[in-house]
């Protein structure tokens, strides 16, 4: 159902989807970075890093890297809510400690290693 999703299409002509784009998506934030080659080997980075208006269902959401644009399909966590855009600009994407994340370059934080207590036998 289309009312349970938010669709965002970002045009980028001529990017290489294997090398020129990085994305990360969590239940609260979105990060897209596209590298554009300009004259004489100089690169320009286009960056979108924003909060989301409401929480999303990460496993049901998708980032599709297509030939001339990036298509983002955000599945609303609470069905029936009315919102259709992104929230505020933020400086950095926060890797969630709990919950889920999709990314083509960031990894989930490592789980802390809990060592078993050492019992001394006398």
Return the domain boundaries, the chain.
Answer: 2-103
* Largest CA-CA distance found in the chain, in angstroms, rounded: 74
The pTM assigned to this predicted structure is 0.77
Tell me the pLDDT tens digit for each residue of 31-80. Answer: 999 988 777 778 888 899 999 988 999 999 999 999 888 999 999 988 87
**What pLDDT is stored for residue 116 in this prediction?**
67
Please report where in the chains the tokens 């490592």 appear, as a residue: 110
Give CA–CA dist 32/72, Å, rounded.
10
- Across all residues in the chain, what is the average pLDDT? 84
Tallying the residues shown for the chain, one arrives at: 122
**What pLDDT is stored for residue 61 in this prediction?**
94
Half-sphere exposure of 110 (CA within 13 A, CB side): 3
List, as one string, the DSSP characters of the chain.
Answer: -GGGEEEEEEE-TT--TTTSEEEEEESSEEEEEEEEE-GGG-EEEEEEEEEESS-B-TTT-EEEE-SSEEEEEEEBSSTT----SEEEE-SSPPPPSSS-EEESS--PPPPPPPPPPP----
Give CA–CA dist 101/104, Å, rounded.
10
CATH code for the part of the protein at 2-103: 2.60.40.790
15 pLDDT band, cuts 50/70/90, is confident
């Amino acid at each position: 159902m289309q009312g349970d999703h938010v669709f965002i299409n970002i045009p980028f002509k001529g990017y290489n989807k294997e090398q020129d784009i990085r994305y990360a998506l969590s239940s609260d934030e979105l990060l897209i970075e596209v590298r554009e080659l300009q004259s004489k080997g100089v690169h320009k980075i286009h960056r979108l890093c924003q909060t989301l208006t409401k929480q999303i269902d990460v496993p049901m959401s998708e980032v599709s890297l297509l030939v001339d644009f990036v298509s983002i399909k955000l599945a609303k966590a609470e069905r029936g809510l009315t919102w259709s855009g992104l929230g505020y600009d933020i400086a950095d994407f926060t890797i969630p400690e709990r919950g889920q994340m999709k990314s083509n370059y960031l990894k989930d934080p490592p789980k802390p290693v809990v060592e078993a207590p050492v019992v001394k036998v006398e």
